[in-house]
Chain A
Amino acid sequence: DGGITQSPKYLFRKEGQNVTLSCEQNLNHDAMYWYRQDPGQGLRLIYYSQIVNDFQKGDIAEGYSVSREKKESFPLTVTSAQKNPTAFYLCASSKQTGKSPLHFGNGTRLTVT
């Protein structure tokens, strides 16, 4: 079955360390996204990519970086510059053409202490 795989499910890091969250999809979708969810908040867009080797900042890109070297993969790096990195991170993908829903992975819970 096609889907989106995020790994790991839980991640713990010390403050000041960079950490990379993995996201892989086998849905053959062109567009991929990273969202962040905090308690009592909606999902906020960090970065998105519509095609390989191209990506755009979302609403809260500061302190994050991404790459899109392959269609299937869209890793997110949480850098030490991100002031409040502890959150639930969600990766999603969608078809490029027309209006189509985003399909989400099951998320990675990052805790930075």
Chain B
Amino acid sequence: DQQVKQNSPSLSVQEGRISILNCDYTNSMFDYFLWYKKYPAEGPTFLISISSIKDKNEDGRFTVFLNKSAKHLSLHIVPSQPGDSAVYFCAASGGGGSNYKLTFGKGTLLTVNP
């Protein structure tokens, strides 16, 4: 039972354009959502998070949007840069168990072409 789903295994965009990565969740108890970026053979790096009391959080080129009624969140990267090419994981916590346990999606490989 996959509670966090990233339905696009990969995404390719041109440098300078917007990248939009999507994530859906099924557990209505989730109340904290995060995005991580991961390069091969390295650990994930935290990018941005959002609490369920908000619908938008912005940090520089990265913005996360949360639609609770649709159980959907998205990460927008504007403008996209070649260094943004990596696997992006969506994660959520608060699903009725430990608040400190994250459930991850399978990731989306973003490729930003020069």
Contact = CB atoms under 8 A, between A and B. Distances in A.
A107 B106 contact: no
Interface of A: 4, 6, 31, 33, 35, 40-45, 48, 50, 56, 58, 88, 90, 92, 94, 96, 99, 101-107, 109
Interface residues of B, number: 28
Interface in B83-114: 89, 91, 93, 98-107
Contacts of A101: 34, 46, 49
Nearest to A48: B101
Contacts, number: 64
Give the interface centre of B41, B91, B100, B107 by most chain A CB atoms within 10 Å. B100
B38 to A, nearest CB: 9
B73 to A, nearest CB: 15
